Structure 1
Amino acid sequence: MTGRRLRFALCGLVLLTVLYAAACTTTGDDDPDEGRGTPKTAAVPPSGLGGLGPASPPAASSSPPPAPAGWWKPAVGVTWQWQLTGTLDTSVAADVYDVDAVTTSAADVARLKAAGRRVICYVNAGAHEDFRADAGNFPESVRGKGLEGWPGEKWLDIRRWDTLEPLLAARFKMCKDKGFDAVEPDNVDGYANNSGFPLTAEDQLTFNRRVADLAHGLGLAVGLKNDVEQAEALAPAFDFAVNEECAHYDECDTLKVFIAAGKPVFHVEYDVDTAKFCPKTTALRFSSMKKKEDLDAWRQTC
C-alpha cells in the first residue's frame, strides 16, 4: 500500500500597508485499493486515489499487510495417476491424481483427499469443446479451426482475454468448489498450431501467464501443459509441468528448468516402451509413466 502524504501550503495576504500573515493547510488522502490480486511481476500492489478530505497524520508504525493465501506446491518426484476416461479407479497407489473437472464429482475428490492424495483438475483452457455444458457461452468469434484428431474441439482466440477470462474463471472456480488442489489447463500452445488465428509466441506467453495468475488467485496450483518451447520463460509462473511424449519427440531436456526450480514434471509416453524412456526420465527426476492415449485407468510406471 502507499503511505499517506500530507501536503502543506503557506498562504500570505497583504492588506493595504499592514502585513497579515496566515498559514493554511490542505490535505489529500490516498485510500489503499486492495485489488483482486497482485500480478506475479508486480513488486507492490496497486493503489487508488481516494477523495479529498481531512487527513490524519501517518501512524508511527504499522503492521505489514497479510500474506496472500498460498496454494499447494508439489515436490519433485511425487508419483501420479492421470485418468480422464472410464470409471475412476481410486485404488491406484499414486500421490497425485489428475482427473477431469466435470466428470469427477466433489465426492470423488473428497474420497481421494481422505486417502492422502492431492488432486489436479483437468480443464481445457485453449480450445472450445462442443460437448461441454458451457459450450454455448463461447461466442463464434473466438472459435477457430478444429484440433487435428479431436472432433468437437476448436482452437480459441487467446488474444480475447476480455471474453475468455470470465469463462475460464468459472471453470477454475468449479474446480475450487469441488475441492481440487490444482488445475491442468490443456491446449495452451495454440500459437504453434494451425489455430485459424494469427497467434504469436508473445500472445501465448501472455495468455499462459494470465491463466496461471487466474488459478493462483483462487488458491489453486497450476501446471504448464506441453508448450515445451516456452518452458524456460513460463516455469517461474507455474508450479509443475504436465508433458506428453517428450521422449518420443526428444524434448525432455527442455523441461529440466522445472526440476531445477524444485517443481515436478508429470510425464507420459504412449508409444515408447518404458525400458527405452525410463532410464533417461528417471535420471532427470521426472514423474514418468506409460499410458494409453484414451487415458483410462491403466498405467505402467518407471
Structure 2
Amino acid sequence: MRLRSPLAAVPLIALAALLGAMLVAGLQPGARAGTVIRPLPAGTRFDYQLGGVRSVPAGVGIVVRDRTAQPLAGHYNVCYVNGFQTQVDQRRFWRKRMGLVLQRHAHPVTDTAWGEWLLDIGTAAKRTRLARIVGRWTDGCARHGFDAVEFDNLDSFTRSHGLLTRADATRFARLLVRGAHRAGLAVGQKNLADFDGRTVGYDFAIAEECGRYHECGDYRAHYGGAVLAVEYRARDLAADCRRYGTSLDVVLRDRDLAPDGVRRWCPTAG
C-alpha cells in the first residue's frame, strides 16, 4: 500500500517554521539531511575563468570555472555548467542522444552566436531525462569541491523559433536547482534578467553584460547584492562602477575569457 508522507501529518504552521529554520541554517528545501549550502560571500571581488584557469590576486574571493577544471583552494568556487544548450566540444556525446536535442526541419536548432545546439526541454519526459544528465555533471562539481553552480542559457527558449516556451525553461530550471541543492551547492541564475529566479530556488545571479544592456537593476531587484556582473567592454565596466561599484561585484574580461586576457575590477571593489 502507499505509505503516508511524513509531511502530511505536519501542521502547516509547523511546516512553515521547519522550512524557515532550514533556510536560516543554510539547508535549502530538497537538500540532503546534513548538507549545508554556503551562500555567496559578500565584500569580495570575483574572477570569471571559463576560458582557462590562472591565479588570482589578493582581494579575489570568488572564482568561476568550468566544470572540467579544478576549484581554487581557499576560495569560494562556482562551477560552470551549460544546462540548457550543448557545448561545442560535446557534439559526439549529444549525437548519441539526438532525441534530446531540439530539432527544426530535421536539423538541430543552434545558438548561432556560439554554435551550440539547444536542448529539447519541451516535454516533462525529456526534461526529466536531461535533468539526470545535467545532474550527474552537477554532482561532479560537488564532489570536486565547488561551492556553487551556474546553469548557463536559461534564456535559450528565446532562440528556439517558438518551439520552446518560458514555462518550459522555468520548469527545467526548477529541476536543475533542486538537484544542485540536493548536492549541497548554491545555484546561480544566468540570463533572463526580467525573471525572478528566486521563485524556482536560485540563490544568486551571474549577469553577463548587464551594464551594456541596462539589466543590472533587474538582477539587483531580485538578488540584492548577490550578483556577479561580467562586462566585456571597458566603457561598460566604467558605467557599472559608477552606478553599482559599491553594491555589486563587477569584473571586466575579454570575450574569450583567456587565461592571459583582460581582467580589471572597479577601483572601489574588494
Please state if 1:120 is matched with 2:83: no
Residue 32 of structure 1, CA deviation: 5.4
Residue 238 of structure 1, CA deviation: 1.2
Residue 142 of structure 1, CA deviation: 2.3
Contact 2:177–2:200 (8 Å) recurs in 1: no
- Aligned partner of 1:238 in structure 2 is 202
Please state if 1:267 is matched with 2:225: no
Q: Which has the higher contact order (CA 8 A, sep 6+)?
A: 2
Residue 29 of structure 1, CA deviation: 10
Residue 251 of structure 1, CA deviation: 1.3
- Aligned partner of 2:217 in structure 1 is 253
DSSP 3-state at the match of 2:112 = coil
- Aligned partner of 2:255 in structure 1 is 293
Decide which structure has the larger Cα Rg and report it: 1
State the one-letter code of the partner of 2:39.
K
Distance change >3 Å, CA 161–CA 29, structure 1 → 2: closer
Map 1:1-302 onto structure 2 (within 5 A).
Answer: 30=3, 69-86=35-52, 88-93=53-58, 94-102=60-68, 104-105=69-70, 109=71, 112-113=72-73, 116-132=74-90, 135-136=93-94, 139-144=97-102, 145-151=109-115, 153-159=116-122, 160-193=126-159, 195-196=160-161, 198-230=163-195, 232-234=196-198, 237-260=201-224, 264-273=226-235, 274-283=237-246, 285-297=247-259, 298-302=262-266
Compute the TM-score of the two structures, normalised by the length of structure 2: 0.76
Distance change >3 Å, CA 29–CA 125, structure 1 → 2: closer
Report percent identity of matched pairs. 27
Contact 1:82–1:295 (8 Å) recurs in 2: yes
Q: Distance in 1 between matches of 2:137 and 2:17?
A: 28
Distance change >3 Å, CA 80–CA 233, structure 1 → 2: closer
Q: Distance in 1 between matches of 2:96 and 2:127?
A: 12
Compute the TM-score of the two structures, normalised by the length of structure 1: 0.69
Contact 1:76–1:286 (8 Å) recurs in 2: no
Q: Distance in 2 between matches of 1:134 and 1:234?
A: 34
Query: Considering only aligned residues, what root-mean-square deviation do their CA atoms show, in Å?
Result: 2.8
Q: Which has the higher helix share?
A: 2
Q: Distance in 1 between matches of 2:143 and 2:254?
A: 30
Matched residues, number: 233
Q: Distance in 2 between matches of 1:84 and 1:29?
A: 47
